[in-house]
Amino acid sequence: MAPGMSLISVNAIIILSTEGGERVFAKYYKEPHATLCGHSDKETEDSASAYPDLKSQKAFEAGLFAKTVKQNADIILYDNRVVLYKSESNVMLYVVGSVDENEIMLYNVILSIRDTLHLLFKQTVDRSTITDNYDLVALAMDEIVDDGIILETDPTIVVTRISRAPTHDVAQLRNIDLSEQGLNNLASLGKSKFGEWLRQGL
């Protein structure tokens, strides 16, 4: 890997409400060992750690919202960051990357987020749906981007990973006999297997 290069492609994923720009979802990423990798203080400053606390994150989000709320484009340069965004119903989806990041790759991430949410909820993606299903949204974001590293951009794969029901386990649980006789049978089976295991060990 060339000096100064990193797998960290995404600095932040943000979802803001179009009614006032309030935060609906936000996840900021930073390089975990930036100071150990030979990066200068300036490079570390330019990473996502430039927003280390809630106050700086909220200020960034407010400025970003003001800049994009009335725009029709998909990409802007804001605060020395490349920002890809999409408007959906009453929310704005944002993917933030460093100024020298590949815009096409970030564009694939924003499309993946949008399409995953559409597949996941089978309805319009809006603020109430996202807040009501916050756990699924957080899981989906972690499947797409983990610690700033892009893992998956195929929305169908992401949805199957986070919404697959454990069908075979449920079927097995339904067949368990929880009566007194069933529990006695289970205990005797356990004793015989344990005895067999001990004999094999000796």
Q: What are phi and psi of 32, to 5 degrees?
A: -65, -30
Mean pLDDT of the chain: 81
Predicted local confidence at residue 177, as pLDDT: 62
pLDDT digits (tens, 9 = 90+) for 47-58: 445 788 899 999
Cα 135 from Cα 129, distance rounded (Å): 11
The alpha helices in 12-69, defined as continuous H runs, are 41-46, 54-68
pLDDT digits (tens, 9 = 90+) for 52-91: 889 999 999 999 999 998 888 899 999 999 999 999 889 9
Predicted local confidence at residue 108, as pLDDT: 94
Q: Which helix H or strand E contains 145, and what residues bound it? A: strand 145-146
Instruction: Band the pLDDT of 41: cuts 50, 70, 90.
Output: very low
- Contact predicate 121/127, CB 8 Å: no
Instruction: Band the pLDDT of 190: cuts 50, 70, 90.
Output: confident
Give 168's DSSP letter.
H
* Sequence-ordered list of residues with C-beta below 8 angstroms from that of 34, at least 6 positions apart, any chain: 43, 44, 47, 49
Predicted local confidence at residue 175, as pLDDT: 62
User: Could you give the angle at the alpha carbon of 55 between the alpha carbons of 54 and 61, nearest 5°?
Assistant: 85
Predicted local confidence at residue 105, as pLDDT: 92
Predicted local confidence at residue 137, as pLDDT: 94
Average pLDDT rounded to a whole number, residues 136-151: 93
Looking up tokens 């972690």 gives 142
Q: What are phi and psi of 19, to 5 degrees?
A: -95, 75
Residues in the chain, total: 202
Give the CA distances from residue 85 to residues 5, 40, 155, 157, 169, in Å, rounded to whole numbers and listed in that order: 24, 30, 17, 22, 40
pLDDT digits (tens, 9 = 90+) for 105-126: 999 999 999 999 999 988 778 9
Predicted local confidence at residue 145, as pLDDT: 94
In percent, the amount of the chain with pLDDT more than 70 equals 78
Average pLDDT rounded to a whole number, residues 20-35: 80
AA identity, residue 142: D
